[in-house]
Structure formats: C-alpha cells, structure tokens
Chain A
Amino acid sequence: MSEATGLKSWLTTTDHKRIGKLYFWTAFVMFLIGGFEAELIRIQLAKPENTFVTADTYNQLFTMHGTTMVFMALMPLAAAFFNYIVPLQIGARDVAFPRLNAFSYWVFLLGTMFMNASWLLPHHPAPDGGWFGYATLTERQFNPGPNIDFWLLGLQILGIASLAAGFNFIVTILNLRAPGMKMMRLPVFSWMTLVTSFLMITAFPVITVALVFLMFDRVFGTHFYLPAAGGDPVLWQHLFWLFGHPEVYILILPAMGVVSEVLPTFARKPLFGYTVVVYSGVLIGFMGWGVWSHHMFSVGLGPIADSVFALTTMLIAIPTGVKIFNWLATLWGGQIRLTTAMCFALGFIGLFTIGGLSGVTHASPPADLQQTDTYYVVAHFHYVLFGGTMMGLFAGMYYWWPKMTGRLLSEPLGYVHFWLTFIGMNLTFFPMHFTGLLGMPRRVYTYSHDLGVDDMNMVSTVGAVILGIGMIVFVYNIWRTRTKGAVAGPNPWGGATLEWSIPSPPPVHNFDVIPTVTSRLPLWDSAPAPKTPPGHIHVPGGSWWPMVAAAGLPIMALAPLTRTLWVVFVGGAVLIYGIYRWAYEPFEV
C-alpha cells in the first residue's frame, strides 16, 4: 500500500501518523513562539526599572507565554505522541475515529491562529489578563478592549479540540488493542494517555463553563463575577482551578509515561513495579480533582477549608513519590546507556523531584502565604513543567524521532542540546526560589533596585539565553537529520514495545499482520511475529469535511469578538454543513 503525497494528501489526511506530525510541528512552532515571549520577558527583567518593553506589552507577553505553553505547546506536543505512538503501541491500524482526529487537529490549529491573530492587529490587542484570567480584572469594565475576548474565545475553541481528542483516545485505547493486549499489558505511555484523556474530557467542560460565564458577562452584560450586582469573582477562581489543577496532571502524566518507556529501554530492565506505577498514575488522576483550592490559600476560604486542601495536597505527594522510587528501582542493577533520550529522562527525575519538593513547601497554607504569587512559585512550576514535562517530552522526541522519520537525531548534537538545556534551566529557575523568598512578586513588569534581587534576575536572564541557544542547537539537529541522520531501522534502541516491531517510519497501515500479544514486553519476551504478506487492509480514506467543520468554529467566535450577531449563523452553517457531509461521506474512499 503506497502513501499519497502532495498538499491535498496532508490537508485531507486521516492517518494518525500524519496527524501526529501535524500536531508536532504546529506545537513545536508554538513552543518556539512561547519561548521567544519568555526571552523578551527575561530581557525586560534583566535589570531593575528596565524600559525594554512597556507595561502593557509585558502583561501581554506573560499572559501569552503561559497560555501558549500550556494550551498550544505542551498539551499538543503530548498529543503528537498520543497520535503517533499510541496506535502503534497497542497494535492498531489507526485511532478509533480517524476523521474526528483530523477535526481535533484543525480545531487546535485554528484556535491557535485565532488567539495569536491578536498580535497582528493594530496596537496588538493580545490577551493581557494572565493565563489564569482572574475576574474582575477580565471583566469589560476593567478591560474594555478585545484582548480578553481573543483569550476566552480562543480557549473555548482549543477546548473543543481537547475534548474531541480525549474521547478519541479513550475509545481507541479501550477498544483497539491487539489480541492479548490486556489492560495490564498496556505500555505505561498508553496508560498515561488514557488517564490524561479522561482528565481532558472531565476538566475541559469545567473551564468551558467558566469561560461561557465570562463571555456572557462581557458580551451580554450578565453578572456572574461582578460583585456590584451580587456576583462573585471567587466563583471564577473555583471554576478555573477546578479545571486548572487536573490540567497540571494533563501536562505531567504524558511526560511520566514517556519516562516510563525510556528508562527500561536504556537500563535494559523492565519497569520496576509496573502495576504500582500504573495505579499511582490513575490515583493521581483522581486525587488531582481534590486539591484545587491550594491555588487559593490567600483568598481567605477559612481555616477548615485551608486545612482540608493542605492535607489532600500533601497526600498527592505519596503516589508521586512512589513513581519516583519505582523509576530509581528500574535503574538499580541495570545496564544504563546514556543516550540523549536517557539523559533527558534522568534529567526529568532529578528536576521534577525539586519541583515536587518545593510543591510540598507551599502545600502548607501558612508557608504559602509568604510564597504564593512570588517568584518562588514561578521557580516551583517551571521545575515541574520545564524540568518535568519538557524534559520528558524532549526524551520522547529523541526516543521516537527515528520511529517517526526513519532517521536518528544526532547524538553528539543531542548531548550539546541536553547540557545547554539542563544548565540553562537551572540557571534560569533556581535563583527564582531566592528572588521569590526575598519578596519579588510575579507578573511585575519592573522591580525596584532596593529589593536587592538585581543579580539573581541577571543570572536568570543569562540562563534563559543559554536555554535559547540550546533550542537553536536542537532545531539545527532536526534540520540536519532530514538528510544526514543515520538510518534507524525498525528498532534502533532495542525497545520492547510493539511500535519497535514495524519499519521506521511505519507503512500507512502500520502492521502487516496485527500481532498477538502474550506479555508486557513483547519484543523482549517472545520471538517476532511471522511475516505474512498482507491481504486487503482497510485504512480510512482522506476527507475535507473535518477541516470544513473545524473552520466553522473560529467564524462563530468572530461574532462575540466583533459583537455582530449574524456572523454566528454563518459559522454555525459552515460547522453543520461540514458535519453533515462528513456524516454522509461514503465509507470506503
């Protein structure tokens, strides 16, 4: 079965591998943009009373840095691996709903473009209310421009992409596993994808409700969050963090899944305590719903609420710690090969531990009253999301790049990338623990020399520049690998899971013969499946309609943005027409 080429084949694709690549490149570009925003932030803060950017631009930069990294870079980078790797790991020919998968991607792309279009309009009215968008600051009274509208409409569009992807992966993992792939034989990355997908379909409705209330306040003059009319801005915070904390686990669990694949491969040992690692991941998914008010210890919820949320937050440290100990036990007695992927996975353990431990210090509400909204918290969550999630995702990129492209990324350049990232990351974020404890608040475009934190801020800026150089090395590595990378072959690392049993890159239909699985580590434990020439294999054909349906959503969003009612009917018609044609499309193309 040969693969179609050309622009049309990409625009209409329903192949999970192509959609995975589209997710990857879009999210990677957004990661570079979000990183560029961070570099501008660090230049502004390099010295006190700096005037590199204005207050308004700075507030847009930190808002869009956070929003971009969470919704348009880290989540979709994980989604790229869900798309590309999960069907291969479970022995499937595609995801359960290939056209819904294409729809997810186009909605994600269009939502990203919608929100970032705000940078390109006159006076660049980019969102400026913080990624957390606290009411009442985001209400029309205090923010009359279109900035917040771009944010709340863009997030609603992106939420639809996440919901569609979440349902798709749950059905895929539960129903499309190869014969013999019992749940307790599922690779840990696919397990964490399943947990993350459940979190996505349960958490995104919560923020959607919050955003719809805010949209109604801004567009129709309701008062959900306006105290003057009996509303309450604290309602926003409860809704936002009820979504926001599961979101933290949506960001970290996929990286934990990657690390749980990379460590065994390069230690030549099965994952220690597979069952415990899986169950603790599931437990984290459940417990993540019971800790949201630890983001609100300074709100004044009262001593009983503060105590309860302090205890639930501390409890969630236990399954997290258990995972770390099982990873360490996986290394113990192994034959560790320090490939670039392994370096990033080991970096994940070392740095995520620091983020976890600083997290325990603000699980204690009185201590948090001195830490929240300072740079100490910025240090904490960058150790979790950069030291954790990004290190894990980089490990996944080096690990699966040969599977996705057929060529190995350069290992020497990989080491340079790793060390620049590791050193730059620590130089940037470690001093922030002190900057925060010494009293520098977050989200300030300037600070006084009198605080005594000039040197620490300069060190952070130098670290950010080193991180940026590391990214340039990585981009060069990717560019170079297109033509000069060593040809990988099906299993360059000696991996144990099913994706390594097929050619790199895999054929359109993935598996000539769907394998029968008899153990958790099929390639280590049993002989490769006999090669039988494939008969007729059904793979889904291309379709324009997911993209057409997706295009209806940003058109609908233009209605509240421009306060023009009829536009919503145009967008709605496009959406419904796309879905109609999609529904009646012939099954076999």
Chain B
Amino acid sequence: MSIAACAGPFPQSTLSPTSDFGHSIDHLFRGIFWWAVGVFVVVEGILLFSIIRFRHREGAPAPAHHHGHTTLEIAWTLAPALILVFIAVPTVRTIFETNVAPAGALRVEVTGHQWWWEYHYPDLGITTANELHVPVGKPISIDITSADVIHAWWTPRLGGKRDAIPNHHNKIFFTADSVGDFMGQCVEYCGASHANMRLRTFVDSDSGFQAWVANQKAVPAVPAKGSPEEAGRADFMKYGCIGCHTVAGYSNGPIGPNLTHVASRTMIAGDIMMNTEQHLRDWIANPPGMKPGSIMPNLHVSQTDLSALIAYLQSLK
C-alpha cells in the first residue's frame, strides 16, 4: 500500500485523501487492512509450514487419525469473532459520522446524464457541467440523482462514491482541506460511453471561488455585429443547438450541458478532451465518433460554420 502511494502521481488514488470524508474512510480502511495482513500471515504461514514440515516421506508411519478437537474449534471461532469486533465498532461509528449533514454547507445538486454531469448550485443560481467548483475549508453537501440510468459520482481523493439513481437523492458531505484540481469519473456502468463519463472537482481558495461564482452568474454579452462570434451565434440556432443546450440570455435547451460559460471549463465532452479549438472542431464534427453512443448527433456542420461556431463557443468565458 505504501509503495503504491509513493510512486508516480495517481490523481484518482483513494489512498491520499484531501477531505475530512476521505480521511475518515482512509483511517478505517488502514485499520482493517492491518488486521487482514495479520490473518493473512498466520493462515499462509501455517499452510506453508504444513506443506514443508508434513511432506510425505517413504517408510513413515501412517499419521494418527484425529477427528477433531473441541477446544481448538472454539478457539478459532472466537478469535475471528474478536477481530471482527475491532473492525465492526469503528465501521459503525464511521457510517454514522459520515452521514451527518454539516450545518451551513454549500449545497450542490448533481444530476447524472448519459454521459455527462450536471451541477446546479440552488443557493447561487448557477448551472454548469462536468467541472465542479467548491471552496476549500467549507462544508459541502452534494445531492446526487440521475435523469436516465444509474450512474455513480466519485472524486476519489475527496471521499467515497454514491450512486446517482433516478427518483432517489443520495448525499455526500465533505470539507476539502487543500486547494487543487481532483479527477474523478462515473463508476456505475451506464452504457456505451461509461468510460467517457469523467469529471473534475476544483477546490478553490475562498477568493478564487468567489471570482468563479461572479463569472458564472454573469450573462454573456451579445457579440458585436459582423464578428465571427455573431455568425457563430446564428449558427447555434441554425443547426438546432439551442434545442438541447442552454446559453443564458439566448437559449433554454434542457437536454445537453449548459454552455453559458463553456469557455471557462478546462475540458469538454464529459471531461475526456482538453477544451482547445482543435478538440472542439473534432467534437462538433463527429460526436459519436469521439464518444461512442453520444446522444449529440453529427450535425454535418460546414467548415465555415464550424469555425464561426467555435469562435462563438470560445467567447462564452
């Protein structure tokens, strides 16, 4: 376990937690792990010793026929029972501790979709996708559900996962203890592109988070007349993008990710590609080719319109 924790960067490691929730689980797991190592050494030790010590030797007398031993049976029933007490007590304690809703938590509503994540901050009036921003050192309350099939939301370094189930609401509570960018992904099989349903959680400094909130609340300006951005904005309607995507002040599409501030995100397409001009081009030109099963179809956008669309999307900072 220590070897794995030391080598190379492991952005989704469960062994280097950075939240109170993650630390509780890690502490519990390490305790159980060492009990398991102890039992492992005893059982495999006796097994190997017996194989070597009691190997058949020619001419040796037939072994005595022991049919059992009551004291031994009682002993090896009670020993594991006792060890399990040392595992069960902290387990139950941790279950209840990690299920207590912290007071004054920032609420985020997470909705799983095939194959992307929707984030809604009910107290801030912000809706975004795939990249979650939370402030460091503040309790966070995540409410998880799904719009279609079952998914599971997981940012390993911030703690355990919870399933996103339609008509159910699951909670995760955590307080992140360091600023950073933490990878995660959907961890319940949800169809063709389950592997491409990734996510990123940004733990921001207090001021960084405030700045992000202010930016997300702003309504994008209408592009100047005659600019490529303006042409792209028109194409956004021409190709029917508005039917699925919301851009505040312009469209109200309820199907795909909210694009109001898409240019402020680091990744696109369910967090599988960097948000660059080339990747936007590849993505819009053939979504199912980039992400198997993608509900966004290939709209056969002409090269000129594609450049304009990308200019528009990149203006949505």
Interface residues of A, Cβ cutoff 8 Å to B: 54-56, 59, 130, 134, 136-137, 142-143, 227-228, 232-234, 267-270, 272-276, 298-300, 302-303, 306-307, 310-311, 314-315, 317-318, 321-322, 324-326, 328-329, 331-338, 346, 349-350, 353-354, 357-358, 360-361, 363-374, 434, 437-448, 450-453
Contact flag A369-B162 (CB < 8 Å), given A134-B150, A321-B80: yes
Bound together, the chains give a CA A369 to CA B162 distance in angstroms of 7
B64 at interface (Cβ–Cβ under 8 A)? yes
B245 at interface (Cβ–Cβ under 8 A)? no
Contact flag A438-B166 (CB < 8 Å), given A333-B63, A357-B40, A370-B161: no
Contact flag A269-B81 (CB < 8 Å), given A331-B47, A444-B195: no
- Flag the segment in B6-14, B125-133, B201-209, B252-260 that touches A: B6-14
Closest to B32 in A: A361
Q: Are A361 and B29 in contact (CB under 8 A)?
A: yes
Report the contact-size class of chain B (Cβ under 8 Å from the partner).
35 or more
Bound together, the chains give a CA A310 to CA B195 distance in angstroms of 29
Contact flag A354-B14 (CB < 8 Å), given A274-B68, A300-B171: no
Q: Are B195 and A318 in contact (CB under 8 A)?
A: no
B135 at interface (Cβ–Cβ under 8 A)? no
Q: Are B95 and A227 in contact (CB under 8 A)?
A: no
Q: Are A334 and B63 in contact (CB under 8 A)?
A: yes
Cβ-defined partner of B195 (8 Å) among A55, A364, A370, A372? A55
Contact flag A267-B54 (CB < 8 Å), given A373-B152, A451-B12: yes
Interface residues of B, Cβ cutoff 8 Å to A: 1, 4, 7-15, 24-26, 28-29, 32-33, 35-36, 39-40, 43-44, 46-47, 50-51, 54-57, 60, 62-69, 72-73, 76-77, 80-81, 84, 87-88, 91-92, 94-96, 98-99, 114, 148-150, 152, 154, 156, 159-163, 165-168, 170-171, 183-196, 198, 292-293
- On chain B, the residues within 8 Å of A360 by CB distance are 32, 35-36, 84, 87
Contact flag A452-B189 (CB < 8 Å), given A318-B81, A369-B159: no
- On chain A, the residues within 8 Å of B149 by CB distance are 134, 136-137, 142
Q: Are B68 and A332 in contact (CB under 8 A)?
A: no
Contact flag A437-B4 (CB < 8 Å), given A276-B68, A331-B50: yes
Q: In angstroms, how far is the closest chain A Cβ from the Cβ of B131?
A: 15
Q: In angstroms, how far is the closest chain B Cβ from the Cβ of A503?
A: 26
Q: Are A333 and B66 in contact (CB under 8 A)?
A: yes
Contact flag A452-B95 (CB < 8 Å), given A273-B69, A438-B15, A439-B156: no
Contact flag A336-B87 (CB < 8 Å), given A134-B150, A370-B156: no
Closest to A273 in B: B68
Contact flag A446-B195 (CB < 8 Å), given A324-B43, A350-B47, A357-B40: yes
Contact flag A303-B54 (CB < 8 Å), given A55-B192, A370-B29: no
Q: Are A314 and B47 in contact (CB under 8 A)?
A: no
- On chain A, the residues within 8 Å of B66 by CB distance are 269-270, 272, 329, 333
13 A-B residue pairs with CB within 8 Å? A273-B68, A299-B168, A300-B162, A307-B92, A317-B84, A321-B76, A335-B56, A336-B51, A441-B185, A441-B186, A445-B194, A451-B11, A452-B11
- On chain B, the residues within 8 Å of A143 by CB distance are 191
Closest to A369 in B: B160
Q: Are B91 and A364 in contact (CB under 8 A)?
A: yes
Which 6 A-B pairs give the minimum distances between C-beta atoms? A439-B12, A369-B160, A444-B195, A227-B167, A55-B292, A300-B170
- On chain B, the residues within 8 Å of A367 by CB distance are 25, 28-29, 32, 91
Cβ-defined partner of B163 (8 Å) among A227, A298, A332? A298
Q: Are B36 and A333 in contact (CB under 8 A)?
A: no
Cβ-defined partner of A451 (8 Å) among B10, B40, B80? B10
Closest to B184 in A: A439
- On chain B, the residues within 8 Å of A349 by CB distance are 43, 47
Bound together, the chains give a CA A440 to CA B194 distance in angstroms of 12
Q: Are A365 and B91 in contact (CB under 8 A)?
A: yes
Q: In angstroms, how far is the closest chain B Cβ from the Cβ of A219?
A: 19
Closest to A310 in B: B91
Bound together, the chains give a CA A239 to CA B122 distance in angstroms of 35
- On chain A, the residues within 8 Å of B186 by CB distance are 441
Contact flag A365-B95 (CB < 8 Å), given A232-B167, A373-B161, A444-B194: yes
Q: Are B32 and A364 in contact (CB under 8 A)?
A: yes
Q: Are A438 and B160 in contact (CB under 8 A)?
A: no
Interface SS of chain A: helix, strand, loop or mixed? helix
Closest to B155 in A: A439
Given A325-B72, A336-B54, 15 additional A-B pairs, CB 8 A: A56-B293, A136-B150, A137-B190, A233-B166, A269-B66, A272-B68, A307-B92, A322-B77, A333-B64, A360-B32, A370-B160, A373-B161, A439-B12, A439-B156, A441-B154
- On chain B, the residues within 8 Å of A440 by CB distance are 12
Q: Are A142 and B148 in contact (CB under 8 A)?
A: yes
Closest to A59 in B: B192
Q: In angstroms, how far is the closest chain A Cβ from the Cβ of B294?
A: 11
Bound together, the chains give a CA A268 to CA B61 distance in angstroms of 11
Closest to A352 in B: B43
- On chain A, the residues within 8 Å of B77 by CB distance are 318, 322
Bound together, the chains give a CA A486 to CA B196 distance in angstroms of 55
Closest to B65 in A: A270
Closest to B156 in A: A439
Q: Are A366 and B54 in contact (CB under 8 A)?
A: no
Bound together, the chains give a CA A371 to CA B26 distance in angstroms of 11
Q: Are A270 and B95 in contact (CB under 8 A)?
A: no
Q: In angstroms, how far is the closest chain A Cβ from the Cβ of B90?
A: 8
Q: In angstroms, how far is the closest chain A Cβ from the Cβ of B13?
A: 5
Contact flag A137-B88 (CB < 8 Å), given A335-B54, A369-B161: no
Cβ-defined partner of A275 (8 Å) among B24, B68, B168, B192? B68
Q: Are A233 and B13 in contact (CB under 8 A)?
A: no
- On chain B, the residues within 8 Å of A54 by CB distance are 292
- On chain A, the residues within 8 Å of B40 by CB distance are 353-354, 357
Q: Are A299 and B163 in contact (CB under 8 A)?
A: yes
Bound together, the chains give a CA A152 to CA B63 distance in angstroms of 53
Q: Are A439 and B14 in contact (CB under 8 A)?
A: yes
Q: Are B168 and A300 in contact (CB under 8 A)?
A: yes
- On chain B, the residues within 8 Å of A322 by CB distance are 73, 76-77, 80
- On chain A, the residues within 8 Å of B50 by CB distance are 328, 331-332, 334, 336
- On chain B, the residues within 8 Å of A434 by CB distance are 4
- On chain A, the residues within 8 Å of B187 by CB distance are 372-374, 441-442
Q: Are B10 and A364 in contact (CB under 8 A)?
A: no
Bound together, the chains give a CA A54 to CA B43 distance in angstroms of 43
- On chain A, the residues within 8 Å of B60 by CB distance are 335
- On chain B, the residues within 8 Å of A310 by CB distance are 88, 91-92, 95
- On chain B, the residues within 8 Å of A315 by CB distance are 84
Closest to A306 in B: B95
Q: In angstroms, how far is the closest chain A Cβ from the Cβ of B229?
A: 32
Bound together, the chains give a CA A137 to CA B148 distance in angstroms of 8
Q: Are B80 and A335 in contact (CB under 8 A)?
A: no
Q: Are A273 and B73 in contact (CB under 8 A)?
A: yes
Bound together, the chains give a CA A438 to CA B114 distance in angstroms of 24
Cβ-defined partner of B14 (8 Å) among A56, A328, A363, A437? A437
- On chain A, the residues within 8 Å of B14 by CB distance are 370-371, 437-439
Contact flag A439-B11 (CB < 8 Å), given A274-B67, A331-B50, A366-B24: yes
- On chain B, the residues within 8 Å of A357 by CB distance are 36, 39-40
- On chain A, the residues within 8 Å of B29 by CB distance are 361, 364, 367, 370
Bound together, the chains give a CA A524 to CA B3 distance in angstroms of 51
- On chain B, the residues within 8 Å of A59 by CB distance are 189, 191-192, 194
Q: Are B67 and A272 in contact (CB under 8 A)?
A: yes
Q: Are A134 and B189 in contact (CB under 8 A)?
A: yes
- On chain A, the residues within 8 Å of B162 by CB distance are 298, 300, 369
Bound together, the chains give a CA A248 to CA B99 distance in angstroms of 30
- On chain A, the residues within 8 Å of B24 by CB distance are 366
